[in-house]
Amino acid sequence: MSRSLRRGALAAVAIVFSIASLSACAAGMQAETLKVKPDNAAVTVDEIKIQNALVITQPKTDAEGPAVVSATVFNTGSTEQTIESITVAGAGEVKLTAAEGSGPVTVPAQGSIILGGAGNPAAVIDNGPEVAKNTGGVQEVVFRFSETGDVKVQALVVPATSYFEGYGPSSLPKPPAEPSTKPSGSPSGTPSGTPSGTPSQSATGQAGDPGEGTPSDSASASQSASH
């Protein structure tokens, strides 16, 4: 091969590497461009996208108490959708509570919500110890939406420590304390003093009481017997 041909081949290789380098720079580090999935579970079905799906247990795996489902739910559609139910494999259906304390959990159109954490809707798993057995692994969680239907995601099972502490069971709202029913002071119906129905001594000696007569009657009977 002549020297000119070798120079031409080297120049072509250099151009190819330059184009590849520029393409890589243009792609950037975005997950969608590089096809890199987030660290936590994510799934997209129609207009619904679920990211960072987690099952968060008690801080200690052998502790009693509930677990929770935490996730960020996006709705890219033009109609709001309601989360009708959430089911965790092996633990059954979870209890959904809106941020306001009552009503459905709704994902607004072109919006998103976060499940778990202070001021957010809650998804509570009563059978916490059962899911805690799978800590460090994954658990299938099924979200059922009013329009999209069932959306399945493999959620990581983690204890409520470190970054997850603020989204775990300990962050659930506490029910208000019930008012005390213990009466204060003495009952208003307690009688004071002597009952008004107690008979007085003036009632003794009335007619008809056996063996009781007046002193004057006894004296009259003695005088009659002596005559």
pLDDT per position as a tens digit, 21-32? 434 444 343 344
Q: Is the pLDDT of residue 221 over 50?
A: no
Q: Give the per-residue pLDDT at 179.
A: 57
How far is Cα 200 from Cα 211, in angstroms, rounded to an integer? 20
Q: Give the per-residue pLDDT at 5.
A: 46
Q: Is the pLDDT of residue 45 over 90?
A: yes
pTM exceeds 0.75 for this model = no
Of 3-7, 117-121, 122-126, 159-163, minimum mean pLDDT range: 3-7
What is the average pLDDT across 196-214? 46
Residue with the larger pLDDT of the pair 187 and 50 = 50
What is the average pLDDT across 157-177? 75
Q: Give the per-residue pLDDT at 9.
A: 47
Q: Give the per-residue pLDDT at 22.
A: 38
